[in-house]
């Protein structure tokens, strides 16, 4: 399973050599800080249609428990960054602090004097995803009526839209959906939630497959609902 958030860019596509050079220029290995962070050039790869990816690395202290006791040591967390070559970048889901670090580094990689932001989904966006899907597997809702539970989740091996549950809760607030998409040639199931997270479900999904999936989702689900004059905000209402 892999989770991503989407970052809109100014440019539709970027030369892969320029991306690689930007990744090298922002390498964590150039840092002399006690806790290093930055791009990891050795992870750079290029796939189909110029889509490419690399990882952002970040060191942190943590307590390691041994038989002798507890000692402080370092660990490195790594986050995928996929340049989709269609006006978007997918970054691995992280804490807000790490997400901001990745966005700042992304601007440096692309030599952009801009503050990038990730796309958020509102409820109408989630309903759009449902309309575009071929099968709805799972929906999490917050019922509007007080006599109903605070939170309800349902899933079905078929299509939830064909059940009595769908008729009962369709009018309530959607928080997360998990769907199959039509005409997709990727063997993963896809989930969306109202924080802007896109989750690809599957075990040990190869990066090339993840990149292909995110390229498809941005082309077919996100881009058609994005304002062409802006590049930050939600799908339905860009800032």
Per-residue model confidence as pLDDT tens digits over 13-25? 899 999 999 999 9
Average pLDDT over residues 53-67: 94
User: Does residue 117 lie in a domain region?
Assistant: no
Tell whether the model's pLDDT for residue 175 goes beyond 50: yes
The reply to whether 231 falls in a domain is no
As a whole-number percent, the residues of the chain with pLDDT over 90 amount to 53
Q: What is the pLDDT of residue 162?
A: 92
* 171 and 212 belong to one structural domain: yes
Statement: residue 37 has pLDDT above 60: yes
Q: Out of 78, 109, 140, pick the residue that ends a domain.
A: 109
* Whether residue 83 sits in one domain with residue 128: no
Domains in the chain, number: 2
One domain for residues 105 and 8: yes
Mean pLDDT of the chain, nearest integer? 87
- My answer on whether 101 and 167 are in the same domain is no
pLDDT class for 186, splitting at 50, 70, 90? Answer: low
Same domain, 33 and 100: yes
- Stretch 206-227: mean pLDDT, rounded? 86
Whether residues 216 and 135 fall in one domain:
yes
What is the structure's pLDDT at 62? 92
Residues 135 and 200 placed together within one structural domain of the fold: yes
d(CA 230, CA 135): 31
- Around Cβ 135, how many Cβ atoms within 10 Å? 17
Report the C-alpha dihedral over residues 128, 196, 212, 137, rounded to 10 degrees.
-50
Q: What is the pLDDT of residues 92-148, one digit of tens each?
A: 999 999 999 999 999 999 999 989 999 988 888 888 888 878 888 899 888 877 667
Q: What is the DSSP letter of 233?
A: B
Quick one: pLDDT band at residue 184, thresholds 50, 70, 90? Answer: low
Does a structural domain hold residue 235?
A: no
Q: Quick one: 12 and 96 in the same domain?
A: yes
- Please check whether residues 216 and 161 belong to one and the same domain: yes
Residue 7 lies in a domain: yes
DSSP letter assigned to residue 18: H
Same domain, 78 and 156: no
Mean pLDDT of all residues in 58-86: 94
Does residue 230 sit within a domain?
no
What b-and-e string marks burial along 203-228, b requiring 16 or more CB atoms within 10 Å of the CB?
Answer: eebebebbbbbbbbbbeebbbebbee
Q: How confident is the model at residue 226 (pLDDT cuts 50, 70, 90)?
A: low
Question: What are the tokens at 16?
Answer: 């892969």
Which is more confident, 181 or 59? 59
Mean pLDDT computed over 150-174: 87
List helix spans (H) across 77-236.
96-109, 123-132, 164-169, 207-217
pTM above 0.75, yes or no: yes
pLDDT of residue 227 exceeding 80, the answer is: no
Same domain, 198 and 155: yes
Distance CA 198, CA 175 (A): 13
Going 220 to 130 to 122 to 197, the CA torsion angle's sign is negative
Q: What are the distances in angstroms from CA 219 to CA 12, 208, 235? A: 11, 16, 13
Domain membership of residue 197 as a residue range: 123-225
Whether residue 56 lies inside any domain: the answer is yes
216 occurs within a structural domain? yes
Whether 239 is covered by a domain: the verdict is no
Nearest CA among 201, 151, 134, 144 for reference residue 172: 144
């Amino acid at each position: 399973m892999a989770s991503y958030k989407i970052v809109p860019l100014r440019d539709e596509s970027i030369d892969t050599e320029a991306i690689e050079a930007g990744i090298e220029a922002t390498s964590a290995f150039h840092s002399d800080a006690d806790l290093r962070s930055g791009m990891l050039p050795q992870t750079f790869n290029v796939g189909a249609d110029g889509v490419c990816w690399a990882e952002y690395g970040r060191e942190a202290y943590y307590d390691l428990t041994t038989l002798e006791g507890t000692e402080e040591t370092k660990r490195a967390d790594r986050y995928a960054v996929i340049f989709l070559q269609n006006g978007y970048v997918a970054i691995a889901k992280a804490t807000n602090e790490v997400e901001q670090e990745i966005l700042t580094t992304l601007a440096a990689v692309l030599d952009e004097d801009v503050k990038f932001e990730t796309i958020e989904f509102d409820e109408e966006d989630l309903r759009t995803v449902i309309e575009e899907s071929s099968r709805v597997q799972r929906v999490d809702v917050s019922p509007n009526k007080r006599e109903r539970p605070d939170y309800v989740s349902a899933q079905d091996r078929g299509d939830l839209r064909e059940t009595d549950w769908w008729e009962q809760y369709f009018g309530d607030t959607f928080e997360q959906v998990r769907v199959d998409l039509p005409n997709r040639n990727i063997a993963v199931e896809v989930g969306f939630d109202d924080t802007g997270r896109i989750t690809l479900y599957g075990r040990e999904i190869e990066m090339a497959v993840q990149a292909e999936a995110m390229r498809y989702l941005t082309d077919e689900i996100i881009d058609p609902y994005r304002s062409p004059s802006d590049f930050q905000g939600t799908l339905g209402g860009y800032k």
